[in-house]
Amino acid sequence: MRQLRHCSFLVGLFCIVGAAAAQPQTGAINDHELTSKVEAALASDRSIKARDIDVETRDSVVQLSGFVDSENERTAVVMRARSVSGVAEVRDDLSIRNDDRPAKEPVSDTVIAARVRDSLGNVKLAKDSDVNVEVSKGVVQLSGFVNTAEEKARAGDAASAVAGVRDVENHIALTAENEKVPKQ
């Protein structure tokens, strides 16, 4: 009986220690929480038009994409994102709005974005791929993460083929384990 209690005690102790080891370390922040913290930091800065900026995070690397009005705003956005605790790196894929590009066929940005998203739905991408679409005055900006350079190229080609698109800025990043693949 005494051995049974001792054995039960040890099994219980191992379960508790194992469960504690499986818990994330205190202070560690997941990518979703980090994205929210960066978005909140950008929204709190009056010099930044946060509604035009998309924030993605993978492995504590923050990717900023979207459109800003000036180089000063771009610098402010990047510096603000870097100031957030837990951010390991900031990828600046922001674009400055440019009205000089001639429109092939005037179409609203909302319609173009919907068409591009629909077109991307027909592209073969891995399940864990995450592609975002932003459009400003017919210029499509793609951001997010994919696994291969081929997926990135297919997404850019699909966006370019959409009616009303003036230009495509492909800022899609490869996932960390695939970044060593040569870019085309």
pLDDT in tens, 94-139: 888 765 555 555 678 899 999 999 999 888 888 888 899 999 988 9
Q: Decide if 149 contacts 163 (C-beta within 8 A).
A: no
pLDDT at residue 99 in the model: 59
Q: Decide if 92 contacts 74 (C-beta within 8 A).
A: yes
Q: Is the pLDDT of residue 22 over 50?
A: no
For residues 157 and 16, the model is more confident at 157
Separation in Å, CA 89 to CA 34, 65, 160, 171: 12, 14, 29, 16
Tokens of 144: 């997010």
Residue 137: CB atoms within 10 A of its CB come to 16
CATH architecture assigned to 28-97: 2-Layer Sandwich (3.30)
* CATH 3.30.1340.30-classified regions of the chain: 28-97
Tokens of 73: 């705003």
Report the topology of domain 101-184: Histidine-containing Protein; Chain: A; (3.30.1340)
Dist CA 32 CA 43 (whole Å):
17
Query: Is the Cα torsion angle 75, 78, 81, 82 positive or negative in sign?
Result: negative
Q: What is the pTM of this model?
A: 0.54
User: Could you say which DSSP state residue 96 is in?
Assistant: E
Mean pLDDT for 3-19 is 48
